[in-house]
């Protein structure tokens, strides 16, 4: 596990990919987990 307080700045491309991954029904569990992690970190920053 990575540290929870470690903040990574995601690029706009990564963010849009994450959004597409979550709406994609064929995405694997691991992909969805990573995508939701990216989106969660954005929500916390704002």
21 CB contacts (<8 Å, ≥6 apart)? 27, 31, 32, 34, 35
**Distances, alpha carbon 31 to alpha carbons 21, 24, 46, in Å:** 7, 10, 24
pLDDT in tens, 3-26: 555 566 778 888 889 889 888 889
Q: What residues contact residue 27 under an 8 Å CB cut-off, 6+ apart?
A: 21, 35
| Maximal CA-CA distance, the chain | 30
Q: What is the mean pLDDT of residues 29-41?
A: 88
Give this prediction's pTM.
Answer: 0.61
Asked if 5 and 45 touch (Cβ cutoff 8 Å), the reply is no
């Amino acid at each position: 596990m990575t540290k929870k307080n470690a903040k990574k700045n995601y690029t706009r491309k990564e963010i849009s990919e994450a959004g597409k991954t979550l709406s994609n029904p064929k995405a694997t569990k691991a992909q969805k987990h990573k995508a939701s992690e990216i989106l969660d970190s954005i929500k916390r920053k704002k």
